[in-house]
Amino acid sequence: MDMQLMQDIVSVYGPSGREQAASDVIKAYVEPYCDEVYNDVLGNLIAVKKGTSGKKIMFSAHMDQIGLIVLDIDEKGFLYVAPVGGVSPMLSVGHEVMFQNGTRGVVSYENKTKKFTEITMMEVFLDIGSSTKEEAEEKVSIGDIAVFVSNFVMMGKKVAHRTQDDRIACAIVAEALKTMKSEHDIYAVFTVQEEVGTRGAGPAAYVIEPDLNISLDVCSVGDTPESVREHVKLGCGPTVKAKDSSVIVPMSVREFIKNAAKKNNIAVQDEVLRAGGTDTGAVQRTRGGILSGCISIPCRYIHTPVETVDMDDVDAAVKLVIACVEESELPK
């Protein structure tokens, strides 16, 4: 993995519905290796590499990140917010946030009536250093979205950042596009608004109508102290999804991905995600049904500012994407 590519893609601002800056960064990296790159009406970024077989493989990875949208500003200049995606009130408090225009702030909560463990988003507010409503309105407006500020933290082979979900998958697809060769048409779709209901992937798949879709996302792990029991561990390879809340992956697709891994000596793990959906399900339900599977990157601390992945898994996922496009026979 090109670490500069990875850092640029995971660091750029891009919450759900505001993905354009992320799209621009990814486009700059993938355009030299593709025959066509464009944005659709919803904002999905679609990169195409033409083949000769007449078959289409789609890879989907979502660009959006979770955030906090401003819904009110009080007379003292504090901002009240609603979640964009799965944001935990308790995990938000005490963190720094940033708006697209560069305005910075911190997250706190009303502590008069509730204990910290009882707070909801109704009690969470942002302090952007303003003393009046008018001063705050010079910096932000109702409907502006803040994202959490996070360092790019390298811990040996492990890397933590707020947007590993799912920019690490965007980086993997971008890296794979550099060298992949296939007789099939390849559509790399960097999707929008996954965190608020997998809204981008389905419309993109409807137009492309691929013979096979493979989504890339992160999945939870069970390798931290006293965690909920999970089969997946960091550093043991990317996963081949069997099920999440949005999809049960057809056996033919799972076997296709596993066979490609086996041929190329790539270690993979089986994955059953307890909760949470992915673009996989949105694509599967498009048109009359589309064969759809998912390769996941094991990730600790999902939906926090310190989402953590292992670079061995990341590099293996790049190889697995390339291995899949090299297969002549697609699943049926």
Give tens-digit pLDDT for 22-61.
999 999 999 999 999 999 999 999 999 999 999 999 999 9
Q: What's the pLDDT score for residue 111?
A: 85
Q: What angle do CA 323, 325, 327 make, to 5 degrees?
A: 75
Tokens read off for 153:
């933290």
Those residues whose C-beta lies under 8 Å from the C-beta of residue 182, and which sit 6 or more positions away, are 49, 51, 57, 325, 326
**Residues 314 and 157 sit within 8 Å (Cβ to Cβ):** no
- Burial label, 286 (beta-carbon count in 10 A; 0-12, 13-18, 19+): buried
Instruction: Domain 67-148: give its CATH superfamily.
Output: Peptidase M42, domain 2 (2.40.30.40)
Q: Are strands 212-219 and 56-62 parallel, antiparallel or unpaired?
A: parallel
Q: 65 to each of 19, 62, 139, 191, 332, how far by Cα in Å?
A: 9, 8, 22, 11, 33
**Residues 246 and 281 sit within 8 Å (Cβ to Cβ):** yes
- The per-residue pLDDT for range 57-79, each reduced to its tens digit, is 999 999 999 999 999 999 999 99
**Residues 115 and 75 sit within 8 Å (Cβ to Cβ):** no
Q: Residue 36: beta bridge partners?
A: 48
Those residues whose C-beta lies under 8 Å from the C-beta of residue 45, and which sit 6 or more positions away, are 23, 26, 27, 37, 38, 39, 63, 189, 190
CA distance 187 to 35: 10
Q: Is the pLDDT reported for residue 114 higher than 80? A: no
- The per-residue pLDDT for range 123-160, each reduced to its tens digit, is 999 999 999 999 999 999 999 999 999 999 999 999 99
CATH code of domain 3-65+162-325: 3.40.630.10
Q: Is the pLDDT reported for residue 113 higher than 80? A: no
Q: Which of 19, 123, 175, 194 is catalytic?
A: 194
**Residues 175 and 228 sit within 8 Å (Cβ to Cβ):** no
Q: Where are the domains of the chain?
A: 3-65+162-325, 67-148
Tokens read off for 250:
């057809």
CA distance 161 to 304: 9
Count of Cβ atoms closer than 10 Å to residue 61 Cβ: 30
Residue 112 pLDDT grade (very low, low, confident, very high; cuts 50, 70, 90): confident
- The per-residue pLDDT for range 160-199, each reduced to its tens digit, is 999 999 999 999 999 999 999 999 999 999 999 999 999 9
**Residues 164 and 7 sit within 8 Å (Cβ to Cβ):** no
Q: What pTM was estimated for this model as a whole? A: 0.96
- Burial label, 117 (beta-carbon count in 10 A; 0-12, 13-18, 19+): exposed
**Residues 150 and 294 sit within 8 Å (Cβ to Cβ):** no
Q: 264 to each of 35, 237, 256, how far by Cα in Å?
A: 27, 13, 13
Q: Is the pLDDT reported for residue 104 higher than 90? A: yes
Q: Tell me the mean pLDDT in the region 320-330.
A: 96
- Closest by CA to 252, choosing from 217, 309, 214, is 214
Q: Is 75 known to be catalytic?
A: no
Q: Which residue has the tokens 């996941």?
A: 296
**Residues 213 and 99 sit within 8 Å (Cβ to Cβ):** no
Q: Is the pLDDT reported for residue 230 higher than 90? A: no
Q: What's the pLDDT score for residue 246?
A: 93
Residue 58 φ then ψ, to 5°: -110, 130
- What is the C-alpha radius of gyration for the chain, rounded to an integer number of angstroms? 20
Q: What's the pLDDT score for residue 251?
A: 98
